[in-house]
A and B are shown apart, each in its own frame.
Chain A
Amino acid sequence: MDSIWKSTTRQFLRSKSGFAGLVMMIVILLFTVYSAAEVPQNIAFKWNNPQSWTGNPVGAAPVWVGVIGLHVSPSIPVSLKMWQESNVSAGAARFYEYNSNSSFSWSSSTTPQDVSFLPTFRGNAISATIAWTKPGAKAVDIQVSQVQSGNQYDANSPDFKNAISQYILAQTGQYSSGLTKSQVMSALFDQNGKGLLSGPVDTGDFTVEVQLLSTSPLNFTSNSSFNVIGTSYGPMGTDYYGRPIDLGILAGLPNALELGILTSVVAVVGGVIFGGLAGYFGGRKDGIMQWTTIVFLALPALNFLVVISYSSSLTLLEEGLLISFLSWPFYAIIARTVALSIKSQTYIEADRAMGIPAYRTFFSHFMPRLAPVSIAYTVLGIPAGILLVETLGFLGIQPPNLITWGTILDSAFFNEAALYGWWWWVLFPGLMIVIATIPFVLMGFALDKIIAPRVTNFD
């Protein structure tokens, strides 16, 4: 039997699809290791809490889409290092003034979606003033009254809107009340002049000068920031809540493989033993076992799992075992056919004629021939398991505190990603399902091609 394994391995490595599948699988496993090491354990809590993603661009395209001709603006984090400028005395009162001066270069012709000013300090400040300078000229001073450390001030905050509407009045001569966020952003980034809200985006070096005013000394342990939030982010963009898609995809990889492999191994081992025994026994026992297979085959897997998940919340292991419980009949049918063809071979008859006990025939002739078949179908069963798990995730049925690609796609569907043109939210998680399953399909097909004729035409 040893030579079967050796020659199968050799043939497998020589087949193009088998080798390609193996290489792809190794790459995916490396990514899984990377994911296990890099993605924090409690990521699912963070993922499902919208608060933890404020400050990220919302519905941002991947950064590289400029290559395919789409116009997006980059996200630029600007770090503000505060230093004490002077102590100002006004009569009896004494003020502390802290300043910072940073600049960034802007080359995109697309207005970013937001800015976010995040001051961090210890103590009580009276106000912050952001002096915004465009490449062309001095633009606007934005005064943030009663500034709080750790608060985010974005383009929607009243302080920004007030300052910007004054600025628009000065530039265009028209007063506009009730500014939208995108108007504020246009005013901040368009070239000065009459066409402030409709004109081209100013490019070059923008300068942000921030001044904090306080009656008591302030402590600075970390840098404050003034982030420009563009319309692109990371290699795969972000979703409606600002969550980076690439992080979700990475977090979903280990559990997809885990569930896929678990369900496949359990279902195939169970199915092959059951079907193999049915074919081996034959006759009345075979009839009853075949009938049992049909009983389980007729369970509508998806709905059954949905109903079960209502009565009890499932863990990852329980979900995997339930899926195997519902998918073993397919493998039982296949294994029974193989066992029947083994049974018709002459060496089985010879065994029987020599009076060798049935259980020994089963272990010496059936199991060694069923084992390679099991391996081929285990490999082929992994994609099926992954697909079912992701489909369940898409329906919202999955163990709690788990990120699956199915749930990412579910929230894309729920938030009408197709309508808003957020194609990256739909494309990448789905593509990942395909990428994670294809190596197993390729290897399974290759193994099946090598093993199937050997088992059925064994001399």
Chain B
Amino acid sequence: MGYLYFVAKRTVSYFAALIATISIVYIGTYPEIQKVIISSSNFLAGQYQQTLLRTSKGLTAAQIHTLVAGFKSNYLSAFGFNQPLPVKFGLQLYNLMTFHFGTSFFINAPNGSNQVSSVIAAYLPNTILLFTTGTVLLIVLGTIIGLFAAKSAGGILDKIVPFVAVIHSSLPTWWVGFLLIAGLAYGVSLFPTSGMMSIPPPGNPLSYVGSLLDHMTLPLVAFLIVNIGGFTYVIRSLVVSTIGEDFVITAKARGFSESRIIFRHVLRTASPAIATQSILAVTGSFAGGLTTEIVFNWPGVGLLTYESILANDVPIILGITFVLTVVLLVGLYIGDVVYGLLDPRIKSGG
């Protein structure tokens, strides 16, 4: 009961946060949004006019004109134009939150659609694939190395970890990617230089996955080089502070094996904090990893952002900003809920 109440409270709080955050983005980009809606309405009205001209031969030019004008004003009123400002705000916010971003200027989805939401939907899975894989590797490797560093406190590993953590705060991932491409892809031709799949894509599913992994290696290496230090450092500090607690000393005194102490006592206690850190790492990588995709030409939302900056495709940039806001908040929400699941104090309603 305690946990369900906690989850319900969090859900309400995060939903309110979602509305507030999207409102901030909305207010910050208000003039651009109005332009995008008007240009979308013009585009769709043009399309509608073409359809009318092609299919219904009986209509006069004046009739078509009236129909098109009606279509356009319908579209605009769906976005709250010619309405009082609060209504307009509410309608546009509703449309944004249901992913109705209008149409793009230039960039189309692979299936030919120019709806911003379908363009982003085509690119987003690739981002999720790359960075979720990266973060899972980061969490596994970081936890293992962090544990070893904490166990051998004062040892060589324990001394190296802070240094690598220093690097974490001063290396741009995209620059590391740049160097890796210059060295390992162009220099010694060990890896493909860019993209997600060899061209043409292999038909055999096994070699398809092989090609995908081959293309993923360098971005993942760049991601890990930059992020492993910071994550390991955090895990190490968490474990070190837990090892000093009384219950761990008690467990040692009771003669439990080392692995049992590490897994049952230390990791179990540190797990809520580790989970929070992991969720923050995943969501942070979605937002911060954008530039990595550009360097590796990985067809995710980061590359899409860059391409739309180059093409001045404002609707797409706006759409990505809103989608990323939602992704970040969902990530934070999951983090909070998982924290509650792992922390017995919250579960019991304490």
Report A's interface with B, CB cutoff 8 A.
17, 291, 294-304, 306-308, 310-311, 380, 383-384, 387, 390-391, 394-397, 409, 412-413, 417-419, 421, 423, 426-427, 430, 433-434, 437-438, 441-442, 444-445
Residues A433 and B291 in contact, CB atoms below 8 Å apart: no
B124 interface contact, C-beta 8 A: no
Residues of B near A442 (CB, < 8 A) are 166
Which residue of the partner chain B has the closest CB to A419?
A: B186
Beta-carbon contact of B29 and A426 below 8 Å: no
Query: How far is the CB of A426 from the nearest CB of chain B, in Å?
Result: 5
* A137 vs B225: C-alpha distance when bound (angstroms): 57
**B24 interface hit (Cβ, 8 Å):** yes
- Lowest 7 A-B CB distances belong to which pairs? A437-B170, A430-B175, A300-B324, A418-B182, A303-B321, A295-B20, A298-B329
Q: Please pick, from A298, A409, A419, A438, the residue contacting B21 in the complex, using a CB distance under 8 A.
A: A298
B170 touches A308 (CB 8 A): no
Contact between A311 and B32, CB atoms less than 8 A apart = yes
Please measure, in the bound complex, the distance between the C-alpha atom of A418 and the C-alpha atom of B297, giving whole angstroms.
13
15 A-B contacts (beta carbon < 8 Å): A295-B24, A298-B17, A299-B21, A299-B325, A303-B317, A306-B321, A310-B32, A310-B314, A383-B170, A391-B172, A391-B174, A396-B310, A397-B309, A426-B175, A426-B179
B17 x A304 contact (CB < 8 A): no
User: Are B305 and A294 in contact, with the CB atoms below 8 A?
Assistant: no
Is there contact, CB below 8 Å, between B28 and A391? no
- The yes or no answer to B320 lying at the interface (CB within 8 A) is yes
From the candidates A300, A304, A426, A438, name the one contacting B170 in the complex (CB within 8 A): A438
Partner of A303, one of B18, B171, B295, B305: B305
Contacts of B193 in A (CB 8 A): 418-419
Q: Is the CB of A306 within 8 A of B309?
A: yes
Quick check: is B96 within 8 A (CB to CB) of the other chain? no
Given contact pairs A300-B328, A302-B287, A426-B178, a sample of 9 additional A-B residue pairs in the complex whose CB atoms are under 8 Å apart: A302-B290, A302-B291, A304-B28, A306-B305, A307-B317, A307-B318, A395-B291, A395-B305, A418-B193
Q: Is the CB of A307 within 8 A of B28?
A: yes
- A422 to B: closest C-beta gap in Å: 9
Min C-beta distance of B219 to chain A, whole Å: 15
Is the Cβ of B287 less than 8 Å from the Cβ of A430? Answer: no
B83 CB-CB contact with A under 8 Å: no
CB distance from B305 to the nearest CB of A (A): 6
Residues in chain B near residue A434, CB distance under 8 A: 167, 170-171
B314 nearest CB neighbor, chain A only: A310
Is B133 interfacial (CB 8 A cutoff)? no
Is B13 part of the contact surface with A, judged by Cβ < 8 Å? yes
Q: Are B13 and A291 in contact (CB under 8 A)?
A: yes
Q: How far is the CA of A72 from the CA of B305 in the complex (A)?
A: 39
Q: Which residues of B contact A297 (CB under 8 A)?
A: 328, 332
Bound Cα distance A380, B165 (Å): 12
A426 is contacted by which of B167, B182, B288, B306 (Cβ under 8 Å)? Answer: B182
Residues of A within 8 A of B346 (CB): none
| Chain B residue nearest in CB terms to A433 | B172
- Cross-chain contact B332 with A438 (CB below 8 angstroms): no
Chain B contacts for A304, CB-based, 8 A? 25, 28, 321
Given A413-B178, A434-B170; A391-B291 close (CB under 8 Å): yes
Are A295 and B170 in contact, CB atoms less than 8 angstroms apart? no
Contact with A421, one of B171, B185, B186, B306 (Cβ below 8 angstroms): B186
Check if B321 sits within 8 Å of A307, measured CB to CB. Answer: yes
B340 to chain A, nearest CB (A): 15
Assuming the contacts A295-B17, A299-B24, asked whether A308 and B29 have C-beta atoms less than 8 A apart, the reply is yes
Bound form: Cα–Cα A419–B28 in Å: 39
With most chain B CB atoms within 10 A of its CB, the pick from A298, A302, A380, A445 is A298
How distant is B255 from chain A, measured CB to nearest CB, in Å? 32
Among A296, A391, A427, A433, contact of B179 (Cβ-Cβ < 8 Å)? A427
Decide: A307 and B29 in contact? CB cutoff 8 A.
Answer: yes
- Shortest Cβ distance from A285 into chain B, in angstroms? 15
Q: Which residues of A contact B306 (CB under 8 A)?
A: 395
Measured CA separation A291–B288 after assembly (Å): 22
User: B169 to A380, Cβ gap below 8 A?
Assistant: yes
B162 at the interface (CB under 8 A from A): yes
